[in-house]
Structure 1
Amino acid sequence: MRRLVLAAAAAALAVTATTASAQPIDPKVMARIDRILKRTPLIDGHNDLPEQIRESHGMSVANLASGGAERAKPLMTDMARLRDGRVGGQFWSVYIDAGVQGDEAIRQTLEQIDVVTRLVKAYPGDLELAFTADDIERIHRRGRVASLIGVEGGHQMGGSMAALRQFHRLGARSLTLTHFATNDLADSATDDPKWGGLNDFGRAVVHEMNRLGMLVDLSHVSPDAMKAAIAESRAPVVFTHSNARAIEDHPRNVPDDVLALLRDRGGVVMVNFYTGYLSEPYRLWSAARAAEEARVKSLFVGQPDRSAAALRQWDSAHPVPAADVGLVADHLDHIARVAGYDHVGLGGDLDGIPYDLAPPGLNSVAGYPLLFAELIRRGWSDANLAKLAGGNILRAMRGAERVSAAMAAEPPSMAVPGQPK
């Protein structure tokens, strides 16, 4: 999601051998979780630590071994908590703002990729770059976190297929077609539509990603773009950090008719931990607060102290709706019911969301066992938990790799925006 300022008032969670939550996990349940995650790597589809390093920490990859409380903005991710969370694979997002275009977008994306490669090099005992599904499993067996690169917006190509290919050569294995703004590929879920889904250049980009073996990421795109990309892609598509729209009616979430399409196409929805995409009460509260803020600013124009006091009074009378681990499980249950257990995954969006707007216990990478414990309480089988953890995204990656091999004889695309496919 768009970078939001992390809540500076919240200190980094203290991690125990169980989870970052105050709620203990029964030792027998934890042993079961460990058995599952020893066989199958837990792979998260979206983490924004590289952006935090770039924007909040002066490009420095130092001091990420553990803790983080000494930082002005506490992080959700470090090496110790990755291990406490039993993380086996991570797609690191190389996000840049959707307003950055053209050659500047390409330059900034390269700088973000450099952050990831420097991060991996700085922690060789913890991280290792991965390029294939086999790499992830090999790295997991060695006790390290397989580190992949995901580009979070088609605007980052700068309209250049050559840039896309170079991102892939440097390790990028997914591309989100849009971010918060409609671009020269596709319509965004959070902007006015322009193309009715994908345009010709967007279809050419999907085809070129299939040829390269990159995963087509449909988080942030409009429902029409979701459907068009699913129809266009020869390989499984993914939503690296999205939720179920039937549970929370936010346009960033995935409607049931799109979930149903994934059953036959092998796609995966990796669930996001942001309260704004989890909780319908929070969505309605947020809209009401925005309306109240606009009202008091208009009512007390030129009187910032009075408008601020009035908004504080409203906040006091309207507490923020809470979200918990059970709400994340509700989204997973719904996706599993509609699309099937073969189509669920995890994409927490950690370090890309406010610290205090993730459910307690899930506001750091140490918290995944808490979610697994909740799903075990709900009756999820070991086989389905393994699919959720990493089995499904590994299958999607292998599908993309097979499609790429079958397209090896095709020449690179030279398509440009505004020209027919």
Structure 2
Amino acid sequence: MCPSWWLWPLVAVCAADVYREEAERIMQDTPVIDGHNDLPWQLLTKFNNRLQDEAANLTTLASTHTNIPKLRAGLVGGQFWSAYVPCDTQNKDAVRRTLEQMDVVHRMCEMYPETFLCVTSSAGIRQAFQEGRVASLIGVEGGHSIDSSLGVLRVLYRLGMRYLTLTHSCNTPWADNWLVDTGSDEAQSQGLSEFGQRVLREMNRLGVMVDLAHVSVATMKAALQLSTAPVIFSHSSAYSLCAHRRNVPDDVLLLVNETGSLVMVNFYNDYVSCSRTANLSQVADHLDYIKKVAGAGAVGFGGDFDGVTRLPTGLEDVSKYPDLIAELLRRNWTEAEVRGALAENLLRVFEAVEQVSNSTQAAEEEPIPLEQLGTSCRMQYGYSDAPTLRRQPGALLASLAPLIFSLRLL
């Protein structure tokens, strides 16, 4: 006999509780690894990175999507913290600013050792899981942060960078960004320039994940074809569900499948629903779609918390992850598929990147051509045709001749 109509809401609530309880059970030993969180940017803009400011206490900080209680409630076990500096730092102080943002992540781990464990490897993530701490990794968001320098790329790796987003919302001298596809920017590299290809090869050699969030479709395809390791989209969604150029089109999703790569779904309303409002169910639609086109192994989470101004109803902060996992279970995702999306897909990609890395291989050394750089704030040391104080005696005398002649006339 069917229950009376007034029992259906109670049945629905009970079912929801079952899915939520199952989500929490799964997440107890496979917590979520989130691909992109901009809390370091909030610490810069609100407190100028002064973590000892009483208002910046991460246990009580309430004005952000992320704090320690919210991370605990959301069963977040791994987080790529974004070392982001805006495009207006390009050719100026991008490297300094990036170093400061990496520093604040390290200091978070030092100030809250009971919560955060700064790690640089897949093994480190697993260790943090076992210890019940949040594995804290650094993703550098924007190729302008390396200032077109392979040496800077290597130093950032040594300081803990484990993914580099090839562009942000501007071209670098060696890679094109997503605004090229909107017509707002002009293509300069037709994807990746020759130097851009050297950057990617050096990332493979070092063991830095290639992040294709924010790049043009041509850059996506060039990187997917060139990289010898799987790549990631640290915070992008499905273009077929929301036709925003920050999202990943179907032909690229097929390449993601072929290369064993990963799309970590972004929660920003504008990328989820292409409007100012969105809800948790629509985010789950993107996860469903990417699973359908690219495979269950291609799905992850890249919430973009604290980097966006609008979030879906039901995903207002990092504490809401169990609700999203409950929705996937309600949609008949298997436990294996859920565990993959939570952490195992990212760990697989990270391990593959580590396996491809080769410290015995010679480093890429050929610098970017001088003419491809903005030179207004640059010295030109190291370029053979650049002015230098190390001139041959004859050249030095020749350069001084006009001055000597003018003195004789005095």
Q: Tell whether the structures are fold-level matches, with TM greater than 0.5.
A: yes
The counterpart of 2:313, out of the listed 326, 336, 360, is: 360
The reply to whether residue 148 of structure 1 matches residue 99 of structure 2 is no
Aligned length in residues: 351
Q: Match for residue 289 of structure 1?
A: none
Correspondence list, 1:226-305, <5 A: 226-280=220-274, 282=275
The reply to whether residue 382 of structure 1 matches residue 322 of structure 2 is no
The counterpart of 2:203, out of the listed 192, 209, 212, is: 209
Structure 2 CA distance for partners of 1:417 and 1:360, relative to 1, 3 Å: same
Cα distance per residue 1:257-284 (max 9 Å; x no partner): 000011121100000010011113x1xx
For 1:96 and 1:243, locate their aligned partners in 2 and report how far apart those are by CA, in whole Å.
22
Structure 2: runs of 5 or more not aligned: 1-12, 180-184, 372-410
> How far is 1:418 from its partner?
3.0
> How far is 1:25 from its partner?
8.4
For 1:171 and 1:213, locate their aligned partners in 2 and report how far apart those are by CA, in whole Å.
11
The counterpart of 2:350, out of the listed 378, 385, 397, is: 397
Asked if the contact 1:25–1:370 (Cα under 8 Å) also holds between the matched residues in 2, the reply is no
Q: Match for residue 106 of structure 1?
A: 95
For 1:415 and 1:103, locate their aligned partners in 2 and report how far apart those are by CA, in whole Å.
22
Structure 2 CA distance for partners of 1:266 and 1:138, relative to 1, 3 Å: same
The counterpart of 2:20, out of the listed 14, 30, 43, is: 30
Which segment drifts farther, 49-58 or 212-221? 49-58
Structure 2 CA distance for partners of 1:84 and 1:161, relative to 1, 3 Å: same
For 1:245 and 1:143, locate their aligned partners in 2 and report how far apart those are by CA, in whole Å.
36
Cα distance per residue 1:240-259 (max 9 Å; x no partner): 00000000111111000000
Asked if the contact 1:272–1:347 (Cα under 8 Å) also holds between the matched residues in 2, the reply is yes
For 1:277 and 1:340, locate their aligned partners in 2 and report how far apart those are by CA, in whole Å.
21
Q: Match for residue 302 of structure 2?
A: 347
Asked if the contact 2:29–2:129 (Cα under 8 Å) also holds between the matched residues in 1, the reply is no
The counterpart of 2:189, out of the listed 191, 195, 202, is: 195
Q: Match for residue 403 of structure 2?
A: none
User: Structure 1: which amino acid aligns with 2:46?
Assistant: S
Q: Match for residue 381 of structure 2?
A: none
More contact order relative to length (CA 8 Å, sep ≥ 6): 1
Structure 1: runs of 5 or more not aligned: 1-22, 283-319
> How far is 1:230 from its partner?
0.5
> How far is 1:397 from its partner?
0.2
SS at match of 1:33: helix
The counterpart of 1:47, out of the listed 37, 40, 56, is: 37
The reply to whether residue 121 of structure 1 matches residue 110 of structure 2 is yes
> How far is 1:327 from its partner?
0.7
Q: Match for residue 334 of structure 1?
A: 289
The counterpart of 1:369, out of the listed 292, 304, 322, is: 322
SS at match of 1:147: strand
Root-mean-square deviation (CA, aligned residues, Å) is: 1.7
> How far is 1:41 from its partner?
3.0
For 2:369 and 2:58, locate their aligned partners in 1 and report how far apart those are by CA, in whole Å.
47
Q: TM-score, normalised by structure 1?
A: 0.81
Structure 2 CA distance for partners of 1:324 and 1:24, relative to 1, 3 Å: farther
> Among the aligned pairs, what percent are the same residue?
44
Cα distance per residue 1:208-266 (max 9 Å; x no partner): 00000000000000011000000110010000000000001111110000000111211
Structure 2 CA distance for partners of 1:348 and 1:123, relative to 1, 3 Å: same
Cα distance per residue 1:308-346 (max 9 Å; x no partner): xxxxxxxxxxxx5x3100110111111111000000000
User: Structure 2: which amino acid aligns with 1:119?
Assistant: M
For 1:163 and 1:242, locate their aligned partners in 2 and report how far apart those are by CA, in whole Å.
26
For 2:305 and 2:291, locate their aligned partners in 1 and report how far apart those are by CA, in whole Å.
23
The reply to whether residue 184 of structure 1 matches residue 139 of structure 2 is no
The reply to whether residue 68 of structure 1 matches residue 22 of structure 2 is no
> How far is 1:419 from its partner?
7.5
The reply to whether residue 85 of structure 1 matches residue 79 of structure 2 is no
